[in-house]
């Protein structure tokens, strides 16, 4: 690195401060082969030059006995000035006994007068310049200029040093800001920087005199190594309150904190923080908590999730995903009649085998990937319906699940219509299931989207109805065609009076809205009978059939 600096800057500049002309000349002649030499005749001149050119001068050679201002005064001024203290000073003296007092006063070295050994003078100059430049490089890499905390690289170096002298219990903490890139995009980089800076100084203040250090390891991620038993939730609250105060109510940010408590010293420090970061990442999109502790369950789960995210594209390409069909039966007459089906995705993972959608749909809803799966399912379903139509000259409508994420896709309507068009089918053959909780997330947007879809002829089923998100008031304004009763009411209706009452309530609401009810999760005859008594029209559940691969569902159709 030193070599690079040298080639960039060319010859270094040395300031010779000496009142006797003859001495200036002798020194100048020694140095000018290696250095660019500038001269001052007394201390005051030297200080003026230094104030002007402190960022280009690499070394000061300083005489002590001078008129106007002596060398010791220059030295004192240099050492108390932030800019000037970065420049090394070699004192030139005849007085051998002054060595100690000179070094004490802040000189870095001394050269004896008279200068009768040029190679010694040159060697000393070179050594001191080299030392200072290396130190400056290290200082600049050590500290993150924005926050004043350590940089990531040196953070771990220091931890390793700290570990040599202490075995007290320590925590590794990772802290980051949810959607920080949005703060930058919406409020501008300088506001983003201001927030980061503020967090940096709050962390520094929190560390105070306690045993610990902190760094900014990447854009919006901070690592803190802290003597155990800190109240990190309180720290987060303090930071948030503080930022709310300085941001003029602008950026509303959310902090996530992952804590690896009482680190395991058998593992390397990098790993302590990887684990804290894992716990921190687990909080992504979870607005109910801002702090999570690392444990082995977290670890396994997160690695598993990362793997699933990594594999989704290849699995779509390799057709590891399949669509299963679960029949829905109309039970109004004496004999149940196959009326329609629900398309449910299945993942036959090459390594993990069959994975339940309950394991990956919420994960992919969290990061938007669910859209890829839904499009895959819609396309499969549309082409399957077209095939069955051709084969049987008739078919049953199939419901597909539409995730809450899809609702925000401005192309949703066109996508669905394009797909129908491509396979020559109609909105009578594909129904859309939207979960009740999506309605409460973003009621206005959803009502608008659903109205548009219905105008185009689609029928909408409200899935998992009764899970408790919609207000009754909202229900009367929501445009829907079918209610799907939440499965847990059916599961408990025979042994729990409250669940039974809720089933009845759902039936009442459906009559009020004038729409039919699908009861999901019906596994027993007794449940079916009870639901039939209540006036439920459609049943979906293991009692009739589990979700089936397309070929098996085809056999049902054939009958």
Residue ranges in contact with ligand C2E by CB under 6 A: 326, 344-345, 356-358, 361, 370, 373-374, 377, 401, 403, 433, 463-464, 487, 520-523, 540-542, 547
Query: What is d(CA 339, CA 330) in angstroms, rounded to the nearest whole number?
Result: 6
Q: How far is the CB of 401 from Mg ion (least distance, A)?
A: 5
Q: In terms of Cα–Cα distance, which of 255, 328, 250 is closest to 543?
A: 328
Q: How far is the CB of 464 from Mg ion (least distance, A)?
A: 5
Residue 377 binding result from Mg ion, ligand C2E, none, given CB thresholds of 5 to 8 Å by partner type: ligand C2E
Helices (H), 143-175: 152-165
Of 111 and 534, CB closest to ligand C2E: 534
Residue 470 binding result from ligand C2E, Mg ion, none, given CB thresholds of 5 to 8 Å by partner type: none
Residue 171 touching Mg ion (CB under 5 A): no
Q: In terms of Cα–Cα distance, which of 494, 481, 493, 519 is closest to 326?
A: 519
Q: In terms of Cα–Cα distance, which of 449, 378, 384 is closest to 416?
A: 378
Q: How far is the CB of 374 from ligand C2E (least distance, A)?
A: 5
Q: How far is the CB of 518 from Mg ion (least distance, A)?
A: 8
Contact 155, 200 (CB under 8 A): no
Among the candidate windows 143-151, 200-208, 408-416, 425-433, which touches Mg ion by CB under 5 A? 425-433
Of 106 and 357, CB closest to ligand C2E: 357
Residue 374 binding result from ligand C2E, Mg ion, none, given CB thresholds of 5 to 8 Å by partner type: ligand C2E
Of 172 and 482, CB closest to ligand C2E: 482
Contact 50, 43 (CB under 8 A): no
Of residues 498 through 527, those in contact with Mg ion by CB under 5 A are: 520
Of 340 and 401, CB closest to ligand C2E: 401
Residue 464 touching Mg ion (CB under 5 A): yes
Q: How far is the CB of 522 from ligand C2E (least distance, A)?
A: 6
Contact 137, 151 (CB under 8 A): no
Residue 433 touching Mg ion (CB under 5 A): yes
For every residue of 487-525, DSSP letters joined together read HHHHHHTTT-HHHHHHHHHHHHHHHHHT--EEEE---SH
Query: What is d(CA 223, CA 272) in angstroms, rounded to the nearest whole number?
Result: 10
The three-state secondary structure class of 13 is: strand
Q: Which helix (H) or strand (E) holds 138?
A: helix 118-142
Query: What is d(CA 135, CA 88) in angstroms, rounded to the nearest whole number?
Result: 11
Tokens matching residue 453: 């879809």
Residue 523 binding result from ligand C2E, Mg ion, none, given CB thresholds of 5 to 8 Å by partner type: ligand C2E
Of 149 and 434, CB closest to Mg ion: 434
Query: What is d(CA 285, CA 362) in angstroms, rounded to the nearest whole number?
Result: 11
The three-state secondary structure class of 60 is: strand
Of 41 and 464, CB closest to Mg ion: 464
Residue 352 binding result from ligand C2E, Mg ion, none, given CB thresholds of 5 to 8 Å by partner type: none
Of residues 379 through 408, those in contact with Mg ion by CB under 5 A are: 401
Residue 461 binding result from Mg ion, ligand C2E, none, given CB thresholds of 5 to 8 Å by partner type: none
Residue 63 touching Mg ion (CB under 5 A): no
Contact 38, 16 (CB under 8 A): yes
Q: How far is the CB of 377 from ligand C2E (least distance, A)?
A: 4
According to DSSP, the β-strands at 482-485 and 221-227 are unpaired
Q: How far is the CB of 208 from ligand C2E (least distance, A)?
A: 49
Q: In what order do the strands lie in the sheet with 150-151?
A: 150-151, 212-218, 221-227, 170-177, 255-260, 291-293
Of 220 and 464, CB closest to ligand C2E: 464
Q: How far is the CB of 188 from Mg ion (least distance, A)?
A: 43
Residue 326 touching Mg ion (CB under 5 A): no
In a 10 Å sphere around its CB, with 0-12 CB exposed, 13-18 middle and 19+ buried, how is residue 63 labelled? buried
The three-state secondary structure class of 272 is: helix
Query: What is d(CA 279, CA 275) in angstroms, rounded to the nearest whole number?
Result: 6
Q: How far is the CB of 179 from ligand C2E (least distance, A)?
A: 23
Contact 111, 92 (CB under 8 A): yes
Of 257 and 373, CB closest to ligand C2E: 373
Residue 91 binding result from ligand C2E, Mg ion, none, given CB thresholds of 5 to 8 Å by partner type: none
Residue 547 binding result from Mg ion, ligand C2E, none, given CB thresholds of 5 to 8 Å by partner type: ligand C2E
Strand partners, 322: 346
Q: How far is the CB of 491 from ligand C2E (least distance, A)?
A: 7
Strand partners, 485: 465, 519
Q: How far is the CB of 337 from ligand C2E (least distance, A)?
A: 18
Of 257 and 344, CB closest to ligand C2E: 344
> Which residues form the interface with Mg ion (CB under 5 A)?
401, 433, 463-464, 520
């Amino acid at each position: 690195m030193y070599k690079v600096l040298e080639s960039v800057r060319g010859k270094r500049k040395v300031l010779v401060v000496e009142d006797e002309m003859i001495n200036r000349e002798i020194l100048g002649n020694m140095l000018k082969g290696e250095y660019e030499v500038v001269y001052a005749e007394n201390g005051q001149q030297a200080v003026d030059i230094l104030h002007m050119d402190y960022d280009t001068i690499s070394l000061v050679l300083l005489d002590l006995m001078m008129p106007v201002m002596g060398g010791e005064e220059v030295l004192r001024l240099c050492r108390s000035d932030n800019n000037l203290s970065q420049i090394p000073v070699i004192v030139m003296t005849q007085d051998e006994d002054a060595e100690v007092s000179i070094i004490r006063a802040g000189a870095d070295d001394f050269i004896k007068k008279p200068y009768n050994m040029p190679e010694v003078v040159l060697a000393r100059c070179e050594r001191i310049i080299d030392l200072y430049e290396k130190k400056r490089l290290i200082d600049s890499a050590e500290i993150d200029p924005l926050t004043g905390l350590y940089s990531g690289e040196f953070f771990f170096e220091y931890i390793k040093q700290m570990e040599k002298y202490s075995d007290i219990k320590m925590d590794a903490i990772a802290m980051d800001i949810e959607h920080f890139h949005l703060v930058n995009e919406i409020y501008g980089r300088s506001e983003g920087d201001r927030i980061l800076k503020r967090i940096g100084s709050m962390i520094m203040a929190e560390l105070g005199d306690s045993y610990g250090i902190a760094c900014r390891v990447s854009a919006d991620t901070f690592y803190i190594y802290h003597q155990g038993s800190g109240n990190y939730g309180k720290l987060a609250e303090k930071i948030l309150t503080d930022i709310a105060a300085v941001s003029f109510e602008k950026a509303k940010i959310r902090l996530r904190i992952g804590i690896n408590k009482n680190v395991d010293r058998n593992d390397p420090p990098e790993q302590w923080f990887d684990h804290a970061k894992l716990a921190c990442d687990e909080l992504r999109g979870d607005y109910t908590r801002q702090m999570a502790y690392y444990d082995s369950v977290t670890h396994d789960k997160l690695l598993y999730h990362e793997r699933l995210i990594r594999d989704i594209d290849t699995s779509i390409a390799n057709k590891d995903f399949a669509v299963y069909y679960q029949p829905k039966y109309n039970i109004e007459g004496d004999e149940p009649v196959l009326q329609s089906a629900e398309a449910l995705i299945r993942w036959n993972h090459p390594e993990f085998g069959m994975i339940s959608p309950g394991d990956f749909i919420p994960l992919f809803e969290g990061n938007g990937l669910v859209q890829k799966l839904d499009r895959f399912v819609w396309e499969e379903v549309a082409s399957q319906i077209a095939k069955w139509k051709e084969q049987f000259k008739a078919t049953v409508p199939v419901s597909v699940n539409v995730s809450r994420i899809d609702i925000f896709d401005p192309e949703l309507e066109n996508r669905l219509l394009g797909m129908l068009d491509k396979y020559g089918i109609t909105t009578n053959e594909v129904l859309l299931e939207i979960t009740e909780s999506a309605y409460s997330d973003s009621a206005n947007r959803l009502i608008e989207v659903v109205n548009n879809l219905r105008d185009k002829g689609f029928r909408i089923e409200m899935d998992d109805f009764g899970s408790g998100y919609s207000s009754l008031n909202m229900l009367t304004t929501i445009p829907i065609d079918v209610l799907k009763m939440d499965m847990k009411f059916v599961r408990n209706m025979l042994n729990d009076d409250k669940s039974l009452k809720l089933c009845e309530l759902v039936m009442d609401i459906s009559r009020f809205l004038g729409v039919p009810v699908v009861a999901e999760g019906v596994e027993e005859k007794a449940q079916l009978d009870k639901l039939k008594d209540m006036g439920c029209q459609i049943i979906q559940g293991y009692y009739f059939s589990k979700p089936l691969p397309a070929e098996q569902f085809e056999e049902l159709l054939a009958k």
